């Protein structure tokens, strides 16, 4: 299925009752995002706000769409596949044509050649995105949500940002959120590792930029796809849509953009001009820190006659971008396997924000093969951002959390099976990292040790009695304790003066941080000295904003454990080296500890008044 235009996909959703149309005015500031968040958490329909109300009280002429990709099924539908792996398989077929087969039966190569030809974009002289010219360009007339109370302003959250390499002219289209500063100024949040940043670094003068909004789903998906350097987003969109992508030239600069987009915003950046961008409630469920980013000056805005504006809300998972991310991981698995042949499967749980945990099933024919696989992946494109990789056996069901805990319980010998990589590339959003863009990484080898490995043949490791849960609960400072497996205990605590979810902590407190280290050290020692804890190998400690007996506790715990800890700073061993404590309590900012803690952001939480209004509205409508 090829959509070619956003409106066709929207109509299809309406026809299958997957689009909730809201005809009452809804504020783009906080309300629309809250609606979207509530519905995506329930696996609900996509949303069309027909009367988005702008901050000045007026109604935007453009409908606002949210949650277009808000479930796994909807994402697949948008991509026209039953399983995103089909996309990767198409790519692999192009990377490695079955030459033998084609020689024997040449006609089998025709489909392939056709596919290859769909990839070259087609230049057209008129684009639907240029049907209507906004006389005075003013981006604030578009329904652009502010999604969280502490956000620095409205942000375009599904923008397709087009730039070109100054030397080669090769175009790039990346999704980089764009903060609206005023009618003709927006901030461009391309992180240092991304192609847009690469173009900006290489540009010597004014650099042309275009932001497209809307357009066919296949084009939107291309902008987030982690493509290799030699495949452009326009080519990939052609491959996805099964048809050459039409592109049209901007009026006020030389960039070419997808002709079928809904809105086209043209402009430029100036070398070395930056402005603070953020804070912004981001997809780890935390506000990302304000940092300087380039400013785009808008020279022209045009749109389709029937333009609709899709946006998203990111925040505490599960969110829409989680489904997009899962589809990306699945779509790119076949190409990853093409280059990394030992990988049999891969899973990036959306609860951990995709970059904090990867579960990698690997061949292990020879000793330490899985570790080699993990190292290879850390050098593969955006897999570079992973904080923790757990390697598991080739046939391990990577999506099964119980199976993961079993593997950690049975197969990991703490002294032998943890590999630390010091001072590596971090995701810009990794707020727990001690420095921007830099952190340590951890590979946990939870594969079966092959016979020809000196560590093989060790007897099964004994566990702890269930009574540990009770004795650990009695330890001073522990609020709740729960055993995950016989070698694994999680406890919650409340660090006095520590960061709380509702607010961010800006200022360094060396005393507070030292006290926190003492409290954590005290809890570890007290638990490790319990009679029942002799065979405890994993001790997870986190804040008490997870309730370990709630229904959702496992998803929530996964999120807390992986988003609140830093490998270099927060892992501690007992004296024997056989027991590990994993401190995932939100840390107090400090610069003098073993490793710094930068300012610690608050968690994305809705304004209570807004949430009450939205919940009442949804309840009335039966949602």
Ligand X SMILES: Cc1cc2nc3c(=O)[nH]c(=O)nc-3n(C[C@H](O)[C@H](O)[C@H](O)COP(=O)(O)O)c2cc1C
What does the binding site for ligand X look like in residue numbers (CB under 6 A)?
A: 157-158, 172, 174-177, 189-191, 194-196, 224-226, 312, 314, 321, 324, 382
Q: What is the Rg, in whole angstroms, of the alpha carbon atoms belonging to the chain?
A: 25
Shortest reach from residue 66's CB to Mn ion, in Å? 25
Shortest reach from residue 15's CB to ligand X, in Å? 26
The answer to whether 222 contacts Mn ion (rule: CB under 5 A) is no
**Closest-approach residue to Mn ion (CB):** 195
Shortest reach from residue 573's CB to ligand X, in Å? 35
Angle subtended at Cα 486 by Cα 565 and Cα 415, rounded to the nearest 5 degrees:
55
User: What residues form DSSP beta bridges with 301?
Assistant: 265
Rounded to the nearest 5 percent, the helix, strand and coil shares of the chain are 30, 25, 40
Shortest reach from residue 314's CB to ligand X, in Å? 6
The listed partner (Mn ion, ligand X, none) that binds 191, CB under 5 to 8 Å by sort, is ligand X
> With respect to ligand X, which residue has the nearer C-beta, 28 or 175?
175
Three-class secondary structure assignment of 323-381: HHHHHHHHHHHHHHHHHCCCEEEEECCHHHCCCCEEEEEECCCCCCHHHHHHHHHHCCH
The answer to whether 590 contacts Mn ion (rule: CB under 5 A) is no
For residue 422, CA distances in Å to 278, 439, 594 come to: 29, 7, 14
Footprint on residues 138-177 left by Mn ion (CB under 5 A): 172
> With respect to Mn ion, which residue has the nearer C-beta, 53 or 195?
195
DSSP at 576: T
Shortest reach from residue 59's CB to ligand X, in Å? 25
- Do residues 58 and 303 lie in contact, with contact meaning Cβ atoms separated by under 8 Å? no
Q: CA-CA distance, 558 to 561, in Å (whole number)? A: 5
Shortest reach from residue 229's CB to ligand X, in Å? 9
Stretch that binds Mn ion, among 190-198, 357-365, 398-406, 509-517 (CB under 5 A): 190-198
The listed partner (ligand X, Mn ion, none) that binds 177, CB under 5 to 8 Å by sort, is ligand X
Q: CA-CA distance, 269 to 498, in Å (whole number)? A: 40
The listed partner (ligand X, Mn ion, none) that binds 321, CB under 5 to 8 Å by sort, is ligand X
Give me the catalytic one of 282, 417, 440, 566.
Answer: 282
Is-catalytic flag, 282?
Answer: yes
Shortest reach from residue 401's CB to ligand X, in Å? 24
Shortest reach from residue 398's CB to ligand X, in Å? 22
The listed partner (ligand X, Mn ion, none) that binds 175, CB under 5 to 8 Å by sort, is ligand X
The listed partner (ligand X, Mn ion, none) that binds 190, CB under 5 to 8 Å by sort, is ligand X
Shortest reach from residue 165's CB to ligand X, in Å? 11
Kind of pairing between the strands at 246-249 and 571-573: unpaired
> With respect to ligand X, which residue has the nearer C-beta, 67 or 369?
67
> With respect to ligand X, which residue has the nearer C-beta, 380 or 532?
380
- Do residues 219 and 160 lie in contact, with contact meaning Cβ atoms separated by under 8 Å? yes
- Across the beta sheet with 418-425, what order do the strands follow? 343-347, 357-362, 388-393, 438-445, 418-425
> With respect to ligand X, which residue has the nearer C-beta, 226 or 465?
226
For residue 343, CA distances in Å to 4, 164, 339, 391, 442 come to: 34, 34, 9, 10, 18
The answer to whether 67 contacts Mn ion (rule: CB under 5 A) is no
The listed partner (Mn ion, ligand X, none) that binds 391, CB under 5 to 8 Å by sort, is none
The answer to whether 606 contacts Mn ion (rule: CB under 5 A) is no
Contacts of residue 346, defined as CB under 8 A and 6 or more positions apart, other chains included, come to 329, 333, 336, 358, 359, 360, 361, 377, 398
The listed partner (Mn ion, ligand X, none) that binds 142, CB under 5 to 8 Å by sort, is none
**Per DSSP, which regions of 45-170 are E strands?**
46-53, 64-66, 122-123, 132-133, 155-156, 160-164
> With respect to Mn ion, which residue has the nearer C-beta, 47 or 227?
227
Q: CA-CA distance, 541 to 561, in Å (whole number)? A: 8
**Nearest to 258, CA basis, from 172, 134, 145:** 172
Q: CA-CA distance, 344 to 364, in Å (whole number)? A: 10
> With respect to ligand X, which residue has the nearer C-beta, 315 or 376?
315
Location of structure tokens 């995701």: 427
Tell me, residue by residue from 270 to 299, as one string, x for binding to Mn ion by CB under 5 A and - for no binding.
------------------------------
Judging by beta carbons within 10 Å of its beta carbon (0-12, 13-18, 19+), is residue 215 exposed, middle or buried? Answer: buried
The listed partner (ligand X, Mn ion, none) that binds 478, CB under 5 to 8 Å by sort, is none
The listed partner (ligand X, Mn ion, none) that binds 199, CB under 5 to 8 Å by sort, is none
Shortest reach from residue 496's CB to ligand X, in Å? 35
Kind of pairing between the strands at 309-310 and 246-249: unpaired
Q: CA-CA distance, 227 to 233, in Å (whole number)? A: 7
Q: CA-CA distance, 370 to 350, in Å (whole number)? A: 23
> With respect to ligand X, which residue has the nearer C-beta, 324 or 586?
324
Dihedral of alpha carbons 398, 400, 401, 402, sign? negative
> With respect to ligand X, which residue has the nearer C-beta, 382 or 534?
382
The listed partner (Mn ion, ligand X, none) that binds 564, CB under 5 to 8 Å by sort, is none
Q: How many C-beta atoms lie closer than 10 Å to residue 580's C-beta? A: 20
Stretch that binds Mn ion, among 69-77, 187-195, 333-341, 461-469 (CB under 5 A): 187-195
> With respect to ligand X, which residue has the nearer C-beta, 97 or 226?
226
Dihedral of alpha carbons 122, 128, 132, 138, sign? negative
The answer to whether 195 contacts Mn ion (rule: CB under 5 A) is yes
Catalytic site positions: 282
Where along the sequence are the contacts to Mn ion (CB under 5 A)? Answer: 172, 195
């Amino acid at each position: 299925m090829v959509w070619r235009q956003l409106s066709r996909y929207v109509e299809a959703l309406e026809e299958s009752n997957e689009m909730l149309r809201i005809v009452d005015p809804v504020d783009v500031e906080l309300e629309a995002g809250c609606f979207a968040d509530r519905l995506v958490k329930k696996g609900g329909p996509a949303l069309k706000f027909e009367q988005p109300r702008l901050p000045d009280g007026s109604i935007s002429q453009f409908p606002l769409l949210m949650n277009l990709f808000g479930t796994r099924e909807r994402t697949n539908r948008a991509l026209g596949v039953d399983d995103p792996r089909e996309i990767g398989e198409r790519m692999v077929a192009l990377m490695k044509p079955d030459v033998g087969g084609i020689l024997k039966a040449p006609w089998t190569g025709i489909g392939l050649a056709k596919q290859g030809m769909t990839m070259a974009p087609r230049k057209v002289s008129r684009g639907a995105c240029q049907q209507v010219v906004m006389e005075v360009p003013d981006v604030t007339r578009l329904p652009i949500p502010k999604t969280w109370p502490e956000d620095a302003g409205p942000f375009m959250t599904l923008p397709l940002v087009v730039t070109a390499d100054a030397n080669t002219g090769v175009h790039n289209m990346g999704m980089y959120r764009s903060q609206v500063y005023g009618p003709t100024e927006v901030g461009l949040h391309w992180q240092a590792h991304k192609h847009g940043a690469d173009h900006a670094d290489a540009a010597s003068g004014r650099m042309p930029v275009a932001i497209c909004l809307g357009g066919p789903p296949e084009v939107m998906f291309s902008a987030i796809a982690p493509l290799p350097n030699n495949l452009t987003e326009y080519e990939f969109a052609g491959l996805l849509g099964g048809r050459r992508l039409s592109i049209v030239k901007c009026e006020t600069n030389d960039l070419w953009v997808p002709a079928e987009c809904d809105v086209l915003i043209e402009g430029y950046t100036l070398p070395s001009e930056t402005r603070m961008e953020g804070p912004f409630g981001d997809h780890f469920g935390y506000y990302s820190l304000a940092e300087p980013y380039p400013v785009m000056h808008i020279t022209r805005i045009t749109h389709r006659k029937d333009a609709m504006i899709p946006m998203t809300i990111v925040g505490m998972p599960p969110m829409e971008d989680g489904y997009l991310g899962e589809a990306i991981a699945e779509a790119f698995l076949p190409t990853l396997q093409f280059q990394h042949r030992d990988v049999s499967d891969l899973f990036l749980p959306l609860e951990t924000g995709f970059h904090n945990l990867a579960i990698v099933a690997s061949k292990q024919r020879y000793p330490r093969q899985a570790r080699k696989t993990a190292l290879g992946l850390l050098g593969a494109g955006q897999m570079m951002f992973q904080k923790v990789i757990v390697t598991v056996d080739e046939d391990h069901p990577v999506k099964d959390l119980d199976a993961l805990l079993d593997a950690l319980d049975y197969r990991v010998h703490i002294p032998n099976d943890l590999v630390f990589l010091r001072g590596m590339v971090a995701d810009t959003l990794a707020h727990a990292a001690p420095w921007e863009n830099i952190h340590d990484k951890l590979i946990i080898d939870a594969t079966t040790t092959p016979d020809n490995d000196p560590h093989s043949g060790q007897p099964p490791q004994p566990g702890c009695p269930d009574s540990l849960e009770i004795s650990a609960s009695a330890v001073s400072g522990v609020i709740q304790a729960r055993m995950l497996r016989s070698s694994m205990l999680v406890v919650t605590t409340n660090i006095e003066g520590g960061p709380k979810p509702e607010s961010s902590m800006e200022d360094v407190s060396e005393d507070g941080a030292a006290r926190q280290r003492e409290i954590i050290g005290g809890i570890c020692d007290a638990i490790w000295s319990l009679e029942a804890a002799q065979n405890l190998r994993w001790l997870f400690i986190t804040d008490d904003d997870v309730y370990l007996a709630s229904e959702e506790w496992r998803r929530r715990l996964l999120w807390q454990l992986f988003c609140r800890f830093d490998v270099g700073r927060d892992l501690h061993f007992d004296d024997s080296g056989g027991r590990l404590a994993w401190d995932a309590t939100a840390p107090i900012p400090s610069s003098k500890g073993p490793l710094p803690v930068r300012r610690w952001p608050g968690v994305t939480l809705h304004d209570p008044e807004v949430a009450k209004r939205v919940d009442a509205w949804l309840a009335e409508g039966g949602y």
